[in-house]
């Protein structure tokens, strides 16, 4: 009976701990972790991926008793690893949300708001538009498939054990948040400068002719100019997405100790 119990525990552990890492990534990951995705769908997808990849995953470094205190810490480590991977994709998507919000506020288009599908909160429509556009590009370039490939490869570089992320890896995740704000400002700086020049010209007009009603004239002109600027901003969005997504891939390769090419693709 003891031999049978050990064999059953080893079989359960071979599926349970990979399930923790996979399900935690899907819980936070862009598209799959959104509030619009039912939890049952994420659960079924996590179980399906676990059943498919668990037989080829390496065994734990040291024999670990399934019902013990060390098993609790190992489970927490797997959850942290999967959550960190999904959190990187959230930061990539929020870069474009911030870009849309900055442009929307500057162009007076920020008055219109709708529910953000990823967070369930009211956000400007322009931010939601950029989020949906970035989501479609993410799916078009097979970003979700690359995430699954990195996740499976991470079991070789960071096996199931008490060893997890170091403090340096958490610091790199925090620093990527600063890069998110910088990238959003870079994408929206041209629109900010263009609208600044438009507002400056209205200020000169008001000083030259005080009889003009600047509120009656400036507001519609600013909105129409904002739509034109928004249209021009969409041209290089693919190159911006490539750059931000590349930085996200390189970050994940770094924290997962994977060997990646210069373009961010996985070589293992």
Domain residue ranges in the chain: 2-255
How far apart CA 175 and CA 52 sit, in angstroms, is 34
69 vs 253, residue with greater confidence = 253
Identify the band that residue 192 occupies on the pLDDT scale cut at 50, 70 and 90: confident
Q: What is the pLDDT of residue 214?
A: 67
Task: Tell whether the model's pLDDT for residue 12 goes beyond 80.
Answer: no
Are the C-beta atoms of 6 and 66 separated by less than 8 Å?
no
Q: Helix 214-233 vs helix 69-106: angle between axes, to the nearest 10 degrees?
A: 130
243 vs 201, residue with greater confidence = 243
119 vs 144, residue with greater confidence = 144
How far apart CA 87 and CA 219 sit, in angstroms, is 39
Question: CA 189 from chain center: how many Å?
Answer: 22
Identify the band that residue 263 occupies on the pLDDT scale cut at 50, 70 and 90: low
Provide φ and ψ at 78, rounded to 5°. Answer: -65, -40
Q: What is the pLDDT of residue 215?
A: 67
The pTM of this model reads 0.82
Q: What is the pLDDT of residue 61?
A: 63
Task: Tell whether the model's pLDDT for residue 18 goes beyond 70.
Answer: yes
């Amino acid at each position: 009976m003891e031999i049978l119990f050990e064999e059953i525990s080893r079989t359960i552990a071979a599926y349970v701990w990979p399930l923790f890492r996979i399900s935690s990534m899907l819980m936070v990951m862009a598209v799959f972790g959104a509030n619009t995705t039912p939890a049952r769908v994420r659960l079924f997808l996590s179980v399906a991926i676990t059943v498919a990849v668990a037989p080829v995953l390496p065994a734990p470094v040291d024999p670990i008793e399934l019902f013990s205190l060390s098993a609790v810490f190992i489970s927490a480590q797997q959850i942290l690893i999967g959550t960190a991977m999904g959190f990187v994709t959230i930061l990539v998507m929020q870069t474009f949300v911030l870009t849309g919000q900055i442009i929307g506020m500057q162009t007076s288009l920020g008055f219109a708001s709708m529910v953000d599908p990823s967070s369930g909160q009211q956000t400007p429509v322009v931010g939601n538009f950029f989020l949906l556009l970035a989501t479609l590009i993410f799916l078009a370039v097979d970003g979700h498939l690359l995430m699954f490939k990195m996740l499976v490869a991470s079991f070789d570089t960071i096996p199931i054990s008490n060893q997890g992320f170091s403090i340096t890896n958490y610091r790199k995740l925090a620093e990527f948040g600063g890069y998110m704000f910088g990238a959003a400002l870079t994408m929206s700086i041209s629109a900010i400068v263009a609208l600044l020049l438009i507002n400056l010209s209205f200020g000169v007009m008001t000083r030259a002719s005080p009889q003009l009603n600047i509120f009656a004239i400036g507001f519609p002109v600013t909105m129409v100019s904002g739509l034109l600027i928004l249209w021009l901003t969409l041209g290089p969005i693919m190159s911006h997405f490539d750059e931000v997504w590349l930085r996200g891939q390189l970050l994940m390769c770094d924290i997962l100790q994977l060997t990646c090419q210069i373009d961010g693709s996985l070589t293992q």
